[in-house]
Amino acid sequence: MNILGISSFFHDSAAALVSNSEIIAAAQEERFTRIKHDSSFPSHAVRFCLDYAHLKTSQLDYAVFYEKPLLKLDRLVENYIAVAPRGLNSFMSALTEWAHGKAAVRKTIRKNLVGFRGEIVFPEHHESHAASAFFPSPFENAAILTLDGVGEWATASISYGDKNKLTVLKEMKYPHSLGLLYSAFTYFTGFKVNSGEYKLMGLAPYGRPVYADLIKEHLVKIFPDGSLELNMRYFDFCSGMTMTGKAFEELFDGPPRKPESPITRREMDLAASIQLVTEEIVLKMARYAKELTNAENLCMAGGVALNCSANGKIYKEKIFKNIWIQPASGDAGGALGGALFVNYHLLENKREPLKATDRQKGSFLGNSYTSEEIRSELKEKNVPFVHYPEREKLMTFLAEELAEGKVIGLFQGRMEFGPRALGGRSIIGNPMIPDMQSRINLKIKFRESFRPFAPAVLAEEMPEYFECTGESPYMLLVVPVNSKYLLSADQETLSRVNASPDLIERLNVPRSKLQAITHIDNSARVQSVDKGRNPFFYELLGSFRKKTGCSVLVNTSFNIRGEPIVCSPQDALNCFYHTDMDLLVLEDCVVSEKQKSASNAEEYQKMFSLD
């Protein structure tokens, strides 16, 4: 039984293949086209999935699109009727987008899958999210919480998963949406909607939640079960072309921040305020999910499930015994969820959870290259390299280079599915070097200096460095750094920098022995690395510990700002040549020399739109 899942025509198009109940492959289209958040039909991702499994399209039994296009049209029409005659431009824009993409999904699938004779299935958007969260999890049963901007009508749902079945218990409907509320602040603070929400989350600890009461008084009514009601007077997404309206501007002291302009105290405080409100809502929803299901386990998906700080609050409150979050929680993960929904819920195939781990395979579901393929390509391109056929020697060498402060591009194994680099397509560095964060941000990633980096840590040593006794294999929990690694700044310095609107001044205050991965509030978005999911990265962390006594490395995605995470060896070489990375590791080959003929970094940056 071969089932192909597809998500497309909004953002983060993707394809996933499930064969005989096993997740075989999954990838985002952006990785192949090099267009960030590519929304086009995922023809490259589909081809990869089929090629990886050595399948022809005629061998597919089902193709699954991650939502119901006609139900989405129903929302577009009803929304316009509710606000007419206002909103004609917005309606026509949305209708045109729908007509060019989702109206002809069935035809588009048949056209792109030449030879496919199977059935095409359309689950609902939040069914796909729920399926992506529950079915790969290690749980026999669980409460399932899905939150995003909007699917067809639903903006959040609570479901119950038991064996191979899903039951939707509660739904929240458009326009009342936590995802859209958060995106409104993303837009207002000058970041891109559906792209910059994680920046807003990273900015929040720099601010004070002084607007939180104002948000709850004017913008959103929060009910005890976590459901909410937006005051649409302040928002423009129903009838206009922007997220917020004039009333929003009057409430928050002026117009939205212009993208790329300086970040002021207002933006920091707005970020802190909406993050606090978001955490309150998510915690209420989680408690209500517990009340409805009495489950010990919680699964999460949807774009809001990528809010690691909110997830960390659920973990801290111990509402559930165990939490599993889909690493591709956004719309890309809907492709996988749709395929799993058909496989288990509709076809009723038996589901056997793995007790010791999950069935996500570490989310290493993308393409890979053998050492022979890489060596052949490097030789063909006349790229000097050193080959390390003995793994132990490679690990010793890399640990020594990291200990000396070298920044390394790591390209090994299968590419990750989802927005996080987990050691397959990563940039890594030594977290004990004080200026490592600013160096990687400014000279390698070319991104905003305030953005924090995540730590990767040996799973068994997580409690040593972080206040977390569980696991976080997909970098989806923010937890406090262990107090033994924190430094005490003098009170005069703290008072001065906390009052300062200067992000850089506040960023540079020494606060941790692991400065590069400790955010300004002494937290970290942690990734626990175990031998089963990622043996190469696990071994590298072990070698670094042997060399330095530290089991933690900086881990950020292998790309520059606006660029999709690298997919091929050529992508990795391009990024390496145009940044200040010191070494590039392609499987067991190490490249250290830069190509003199490569264009400068500014030209490379211009290839990608700022996110």
Q: How far apart are CA 186 and CA 503, in angstroms?
A: 18
* Averaged pLDDT, 105-118: 95
Q: Could you report the per-residue pLDDT of 133-142, keeping only the tens digit for each?
A: 999 999 999 9
Q: Which of 313-327, 377-391, 445-459 has the lowest mean pLDDT?
A: 445-459
pLDDT bin (cut points 50, 70, 90) of residue 74 is confident
Query: Average pLDDT of 377-405?
Result: 97
State residue 215 phi and psi, 5-degree precision. -60, -45
Predicted confidence band of residue 442 (pLDDT cuts 50, 70, 90): confident
Q: How far apart are CA 142 and CA 405, in angstroms?
A: 44
Q: What is the pLDDT of residues 467-482, one digit of tens each?
A: 999 999 999 999 999 9
Query: What are the distances in angstroms from CA 462 to CA 126, 458, 527, 552?
Result: 33, 6, 9, 9
Split at pLDDT 50, 70, 90, the class of 491 is low
Residue 196 sits at the vertex; the CA angle it makes with 190 and 202, to the nearest 5 degrees, is: 95
Q: DSSP code of 595?
A: P
- Residue 509's pLDDT band (cuts 50, 70, 90): confident
At residue 308's C-alpha, the angle toward residues 27 and 313, to 5°, is: 145
Q: Which two tokens stand for residue 522?
A: 């002494």
**Pairwise CA distance, residues 172 & 151, whole Å:** 11
| Strand order from edge to edge, sheet including 2-7 | 22-28, 14-19, 2-7, 62-65, 119-121
* CA nearest to 409, candidates 562, 609, 554: 554
Q: Residues near 404 by Cβ (< 8 Å), separated by ≥ 6?
A: none
Question: Does the structure show a pLDDT above 60 at 599?
Answer: no
Superfamily covering domain 371-462+528-605: Carbamoyltransferase, C-terminal domain (3.90.870.20)
Using one digit for the tens of pLDDT, what is the confidence trace for 553-573? 999 999 999 999 999 999 999
Nearest Cα to Cα of residue 363 among 338, 328, 411, 324: 328
Beta bridge partners of 91: none
Q: Which tokens in the block code for residue 203?
A: 């900015």
Over residues 243-252, mean pLDDT: 96
What values do phi and psi take at 233, rounded to 5? Answer: -60, -30
Is the pLDDT at 541 greater than 90, yes or no? yes
Residue 596 has what pLDDT? 56
- Residues 68-96 have a mean pLDDT of 76
- Indicate yes or no: pTM above 0.75: yes
> What is the pLDDT at residue 494?
64
Structure token digits, residue 443:
């000279």
Place of tokens 């640990």: 399
Domain boundaries, the chain: 371-462+528-605
pLDDT for res 322:
97
